[in-house]
Structure 1
């Protein structure tokens, strides 16, 4: 994943304060680590913060799932991340076939171009689309990793290099000032890149979380998941104080039953996060840490996004989820 960040206004009468609330083994293709993820995560909890710890019950209001695009062979048809450009196209990264795809609102393929091991994808404040590359470790050793950008309005989008020399990257988020944040699943420190492409090393050292995965910015806060944290935690990091992070929720009380959290997004004032191993879309109240399962039975989901400027799709009620199975599904709340 995943996560400019997804933002929607809260609808009147939908504050979930009295009820439980609302990106796979992502770029890791090593058989050993993938096996560990599938059986329940590989890292015990990091810093304590008094976060809510609970097995999520079903939400009072369940989401309805429809297939937007059919999948193929699981893992081999791995669609890693997705993002809307606000101009009528859904852009999806295909990790294993090394390409970025653009889909029209009716599900037809509108554009496609090659990119080595694409991972996180985001729309920047300049209207350009930004994509991490080198997220597949089996190929990144040959080409390295970094970030490219492309114009989503071009008849034939062509990626141009924005930043390189970045290894082990995966998730991506962009703040309102055009700063970029990249997660690293098997390293410490969330990488910060300034709008001019230079690295903010001091910020990265202060944000020394290990094994971050999905990223999402809401206001001046960066939310992150970790694919290797067996407690399925969600961490909040202030953009102006990366050392002042707190864990807002731990979604797995049983260390042997990790959900393996991946991408997340902001929706109706809550966070929605996908559980790769559990096959769930989970709703979390960032203020209280309360959570509930909005959808279960997904096929190794890796990213979730709110549709903006995408035909008749309603960002107040709909979400799109990419799966490692290759499917893209629409969830209506």
Structure 2
């Protein structure tokens, strides 16, 4: 998350998921939160996003320090390299890690790099540049990249050869998107620039048929300022930056509940795939604008 603002474009609402609850109830599951990595000065030690490479390293974009960091399962810093304003970070099916850079709504010189997570000293290689106002990232099974933009309309689609799919982006005409997650043939996006705190579903093969999964707030005063989201136990879990919550959403019905409270400006949430003994069915990792990386155990 690099900007907080209000606005948005109306989308067709899914019949079961369009209504915003006055207050989200607790999910009713037992959860605990432990600190994996201590933070520093809030906002000045902002960690923006995270992803696991499936080979035992957790990669984190440290946006205020302009670095990408790699952590071992015991919490020690294993690797890293400088990158200007890193944001969304995801693993591709080719085993490479992809990272947005220049994550700032006012920066016109953003883009995407990739690196080999198995290298002793990872070196970023530019995939595409000349992007502006970018934030979240997703990669599909064909190697296409999807990039959210907080202050623009349309989720960018970048083909594996680095060219833009302008037609797809026009179809994915959503303003102010932040977190992105692909589940099957659907792209889910959290909408930051929206008073109703929407999550939208965008078919990868027909983005114009997008629908609203749920609205998590009813007024600006209740705005969640939604950040990143991930698939978890057949549903979605999204970070509420403003309220310090993780919210569980059923994408089929739009029903939502609060899974975790008391976080400090959470920015991203992921499942620890291939990360030591951490259980993917019961564990989530979260980065925060406080600088912390925390581990959430569910059940």
Interval of TM-score (by shorter of Structure 1 and Structure 2): over 0.9
Higher relative contact order (CA 8 A, sep 6+): 1
Whole-angstrom distance in 1 between the partners of 2:7 and 2:64? 26
User: C-alpha displacement at 1:250, in angstroms?
Assistant: 0.4
Whole-angstrom distance in 1 between the partners of 2:238 and 2:105? 24
Structure 2 segments unaligned to the other structure (5+ residues): none
- Give the alignment's Cα RMSD to 1 decimal: 1.2
**2:36 corresponds to:** 68
**2:98 corresponds to:** 130
- 1:224-243 alignment to 2 at 5 Å? 224-243=189-208
SS in 1 for 2:11: coil
SS in 1 for 2:209: coil
SS in 1 for 2:70: strand
**2:2 corresponds to:** 27
1:182 equivalent among 147, 152, 158: 147
Whole-angstrom distance in 2 between the partners of 1:271 and 1:279? 17
Answer whether contact 2:105 2:151 (CA < 8 A) is retained: no
SS in 2 for 1:205: helix
Whole-angstrom distance in 2 between the partners of 1:235 and 1:183? 12
2:51 equivalent among 73, 77, 83: 83
**1:42 corresponds to:** 6
Whole-angstrom distance in 1 between the partners of 2:158 and 2:59? 22
Whole-angstrom distance in 2 between the partners of 1:304 and 1:250? 19
**2:289 corresponds to:** 324
Whole-angstrom distance in 2 between the partners of 1:206 and 1:47? 12
Answer whether contact 1:232 1:251 (CA < 8 A) is retained: yes
User: C-alpha displacement at 1:192, in angstroms?
Assistant: 0.2
User: C-alpha displacement at 1:208, in angstroms?
Assistant: 1.2
Structure 1 segments unaligned to the other structure (5+ residues): 1-25, 29-36
**1:158 corresponds to:** 123
Per-residue CA deviations over 1:109-140 (Å, capped at 9, x if unaligned) read 001100000000000010000000000346x3
Whole-angstrom distance in 2 between the partners of 1:255 and 1:112? 39
Per-residue CA deviations over 1:148-179 (Å, capped at 9, x if unaligned) read 00000000000010111111111000011111
- 1:210-225 alignment to 2 at 5 Å? 210-225=175-190
User: C-alpha displacement at 1:205, in angstroms?
Assistant: 1.1
Aligned residues: 294
Whole-angstrom distance in 1 between the partners of 2:26 and 2:210? 28
Answer whether contact 1:221 1:239 (CA < 8 A) is retained: yes
- 1:1-333 alignment to 2 at 5 Å? 26-28=1-3, 37=4, 42-43=6-7, 46-49=10-13, 50=15, 51-54=18-21, 55-137=23-105, 140-141=107-108, 144-333=109-298
Q: Which 4+ stretches in 1 moved above 4 angstroms?
A: none
Whole-angstrom distance in 2 between the partners of 1:255 and 1:96? 28
User: C-alpha displacement at 1:284, in angstroms?
Assistant: 0.5
SS in 2 for 1:332: strand
Per-residue CA deviations over 1:22-51 (Å, capped at 9, x if unaligned) read xxxx123xxxxxxxx4xxx51266224142
TM-score normalized by the length of structure 1: 0.86
User: C-alpha displacement at 1:311, in angstroms?
Assistant: 0.4
Answer whether contact 2:180 2:189 (CA < 8 A) is retained: yes
Which structure carries more strand by proportion?
Answer: 2
Answer whether contact 2:9 2:174 (CA < 8 A) is retained: no
Answer whether contact 2:151 2:176 (CA < 8 A) is retained: yes
SS in 2 for 1:80: strand
Whole-angstrom distance in 2 between the partners of 1:304 and 1:68? 13
Answer whether contact 2:105 2:134 (CA < 8 A) is retained: no
Answer whether contact 2:50 2:60 (CA < 8 A) is retained: yes
SS in 1 for 2:170: helix
TM-score normalized by the length of structure 2: 0.96
